[in-house]
Each structure stands twice: as structure tokens, then as C-alpha cells.
Structure 1
Amino acid sequence: MACWLAPAWAERLVLYYEQRPPYTEFRDGALTGLLGKPAMQAVQQLGIELDLRESPFNRHMALIDKNLEYACAIGRYKTEQRLGRGKFSQAFYRDQPYVAIMRSDNGRAGAVTELQPLLGTAGLRFGFREGYAYGEVLDVWIATSRASLVRLPESNANLVRMVYRRMLDVVLLSGEEAEALLASMPEERAKLIMRHYADSPPGAYRYFYCSRQVDDALLQRLDAAINLHRPTGTGGSNP
């Protein structure tokens, strides 16, 4: 979907997003959501032609990692691996801490009162999105987990449904995404609970993640636009 934004430079930026409530939703002809709205507010200040494309996570991340397009993805976590392959803007959103979704009758998972010991519980089946990062601290906990880790090319909504169907024991989601998904699943919600943990790390920051083709001058303009429209909770200009 090409959008013309009064181009003042000979630039056409491909902007990738997922249909992923409450973060990014294309609705009524516009991209909205907790990430979509501030992202569009920022890019609309750049004076460039924008090619807005919905694309599965792994597909568009591969295109950016391989530097095949003049492109950015909306709202990605910053990791060492990605820093070696692409470029990041300043942060424009910060997630709520992660929570666990489990069945209310899962006594073994429900008995654990902290997140790190939960991840250390051998035999529990955790579902994760293939290719996703979960924040610096959680990624370490996950890498050293004694639980059974199942990584699938499924949406987070489908992972939650797998918990409901007893195919998984636990799914970890940011607080805002967990609340939105459970609200959209009244049948499943009747059997599921959302657990908060005192040791859950602070929420991770989200950025535009761009290919190396995207020049530094554009990123500087993007950072300036982010600062103009910075929403509450991003925690400063450049964490």
C-alpha cells in the first residue's frame, strides 16, 4: 500500500508491520495501535514517499537483515544480532513487563510465584514465537531455561489458544498484549489466567529497525520526529 507523503527527497521507504493488536492494526484506511499510531506520526514528518506493507514477521525481518530493500520495520526490539545486520532509530514505545498466560487448572505452573523459577521448571511447555526476541534479561533466562521450549511460526493469539487446548502450559506476553488477546477470546478466557510476577524485568523498548540501505540522515530526521511525538512511557530519548 503506497502512501504519498509530500516527498521533498527522492526517497521511497518501505515500512513493514504485522497485523498484531493492540500494537499494529490497519483499520479504517489507517495504521493504528500502540505502535502503529506513534510510528505513523513520526514518519509523516519525514516528507518522503511511504510504501506501507503488511508482512509476516520472519519474512520482512529477513528482507531487512539481508539489506534487500530501503525499508524499516515498526516496533522491533534491539538485540546484538540485529545490531550487526541493520540500524535502529531511537525508541518510541516501551512495553509493559511480561506476564504468563496459563490455564487456571494448571496447578504446577500456577504454584510458582516468580517468573525466573517458572522458566526453570523442568517439564513445563513454554510456547514462543519463532524469531522473536523477548528483551535482554528474558532472552538470557529463556536460553538457560530447564523447561521445554517450543518455538513455532504461529501468532501469539494461536499460542494462547494452544495453552487453552493443553498443547502448551505457558505463554509469555507483554501485559498490554496479554490483556488485549484475552479480551478478544471470551471462550478461552474463561479457562485461562494471567499471572504477574514481581521479578518480571521492566518492559523492553521498541524501535524502528531498518536495513543498512537506509541512510543515517533519514534516521536522524526520524529520531527528531520521534522526539516531537514521544508518547508517555518510552523512558527518555535514547535508552
Structure 2
Amino acid sequence: MKPALPLAGLCAAFACAAAWPATPQITVAWRDKPPYHYMENGVAKGFLLERAREVFAAAGLPARFINEPQKRIWANFQHGSTNYCSISWYRLPEREALAQYSNPFHEDLPHTVLIAPGMVERVQAHATLEALLTDPTLTLGVIEGVSYGPVLDQMIRSGKNKLMSRTVETTQMMRMLTVGRASYMFVDREDWEFFRQKEPSAQKLVRYDLPNMPVGMRRHVVCSRDVPQETMNKLNQAIAATGGMLNPGHSKPGK
């Protein structure tokens, strides 16, 4: 009979392998924000969703991408969800208290203004952002739960416009603007271009660029506090390896 030692040694080796911790799967949440990330005919699409998949793959991190509303995403961070990340968020102090941030992987252009039908002359009578926001006769459409960047957020809070604040996605707010629910709204330029190409009602809206609009914000991957620093380092290395912080033209920096 052959000695049992080699078999025992083999079993021990398998036991050791089984004991090695596998990299846990990370849940990566994204909100509906076309053309950044969105569903179309049951298929998840969007240039920043594709970029995020590329980053997690390059980092060697198993990830399950899911679509969730923006308020639920931040409630999950607040309530301590584990192995949880989300993509495409601005860096704000109140959010840094709940989650940790990767290096930026995209930079927006400055916001633009969309004007409702029948309100063009009244809105365009204001040549500066400050003048526009201090007109008490105008109604500004604002999406709850999102940030327009710290500068614009503060200007909106201290402004004198009436506010129509709704928990809707950007596309829904633009539709509401087409029927005159507000006088105007702020929007990412890429959101507007996507809407303009897809929705016939967009022809009712007028885009208006102001010279002193704050610079575009940078977008990051955010992760729950339990995600190890090693994992965040892998994400940052993968962001750098796959093109760094992309500009709004979706090309590599400097191109």
C-alpha cells in the first residue's frame, strides 16, 4: 500500500487554496442619465457606463452593474451597504462623508441653460448668471437629489427665482420644460444633445449660453467605506491605464 502522506499533502494544499480569500464581487450602481448611462430597449448603454466597465475590468475587479435611482444610491451609502460602488459623481463634502472617491475619470463642459417656450425674451434679457438667478418672476426647474456643482448649487440656494423642484431624471425635467412647467433649467450639454436628437418636442426649447457659467465638474467612481484601499488603488491605476480623465469629447486628454 502506498503511503497516505502524499494524499494528505494534496488535501492540505487544496484546503489552503480554498482558504485563500477570493476578491469579493462589487456591486456598481448607475443612475439613468442619458447619454452617460441609460437603458434602451432593455439594454444598458452609455459612454461613461462603457468607460466604467473598462476601468473595473482593467483593475481585475469582479463587478455586477445595476441600475438604481440616485436617491437610493446615496441612501445605500448612508446606510452602510458593503462592497458597493457607484459611477459618475461630483466630489462634494457632504458626499465625502459617506463614501470614498477614485481619481476623476471624466470632466464635463460647463452647464448650459434651456429656455421654455414663450420665455425666451424674458430669460435672454439677463446677460449674466447672477442677473438670471435674481429675477423673482422666473421659475427655475431643479432636479432633487443631484448637484449642479458647488458654485451653481449655492447660487441657486441664494437666488430669488421661484423653484420647481422635482424628483425626476434629467430627461423628464426637459419634457416638463417643453410644456412650460418652468421658465428655464440648467442642464449638462451632453444631456441636451442626446435629448435634442431623440425627442421631437426638444425643438420647442432654446439653448442659451452665459459667459460666466462655472467650469465643468469632474466625475468620479465612489465606493463604500469598507472597500479596501488596495481596491481603490487598483481603480486609480486602471483609470490612468485606460486614458485618465477623459474630456467631454470622449477622447484621451490632449486630443
TM-score category of the 2 structures, normalised to the smaller one: 0.7 to 0.9
2:117/2:179 contact within 8 Å kept: no
Percent identity of equivalent pairs: 23
In the alignment, residue 22 of structure 1 is paired with which amino acid? P
Separation of aligned partners in 2, 1:26 and 1:44: 21
Query: What are the equivalent positions in structure 2 for 1:36-185 lying under 5 Å apart?
Result: 36-106=49-119, 107-185=121-199
How far apart are residue 123 of structure 1 and its match? 2.6
Report the alpha carbon displacement of residue 34 of structure 1 after superposing the two structures with TM: 3.0
Deviations 1:119-172 (CA, angstroms, capped at 9, x unpaired) = 221131111111101112111211211111222111111111111111111111
**Distance in structure 1 (CA, Å) of the matches to 2:60 and 2:102:** 17
Q: Which amino acid aligns with 2:182?
A: L
Relative to structure 1, the CA distance from residue 179 to residue 195 in structure 2 (aligned partners, 3 Å threshold; closer, same or farther) is same
> What per-residue deviation string (whole Å, max 9, x for no partner) do you get for residues 78-122 of structure 1?
111001111110000011110111124212113222223212211
Distance 2:115 2:98 in 1: 35
Question: 1:207 corresponds to which residue?
Answer: 220
Q: What's the offset of the Cα at 1:231? A: 5.0
Alignment of 1:207-226 (within 5 A): 207-226=220-239
C-alpha distance in 2 between matches for 1:28 and 1:47 = 29
| Partner SS state of residue 91, structure 1 | coil
For structure 2, the residue ranges without an aligned partner over 5 or more in a row are: 1-20
The answer as to whether partners of 2:107 and 2:245 remain within 8 angstroms in 1 is: no
CA RMSD in angstroms comes to 2.2
Higher strand share: 1
Higher helix share: 2
Distance 1:130 1:29, change over 3 A: closer
1:6-32 Cα distance to aligned partner (Å, 9 max, x none): xx9421100001232110135699754
Question: Amino acid of the residue matched to residue 180 of structure 1?
Answer: F
CA distance in 1, matches of 2:106, 2:216: 10
Task: Work out whether residues 14 and 71 of structure 1, in 8 Å CA contact, stay in contact via their aligned partners in 2.
Answer: yes
Query: Considering only CA atoms, is the larger Rg found in Structure 1 or Structure 2?
Result: 2
The residue matched to 2:154 in structure 1 has which SS? helix
Contact 1:12–1:49 under 8 Å retained in 2: yes
2:23 corresponds to? 10
TM-score, scaled to structure 1:
0.88
> Aligned partners of 2:176, 2:27: CA distance in 1, in Å?
33
How far apart are the structure 2 equivalents of 1:150 and 1:213? 37
For these two proteins, the number of residue pairs brought into alignment is: 228
- What is the rounded CA distance, in whole Å, between the counterparts of 2:117 and 2:182 in structure 1? 13
Structure 1: segments with no counterpart, 5+ residues: 1-7
3-state SS in 2 of match to 1:90:
coil
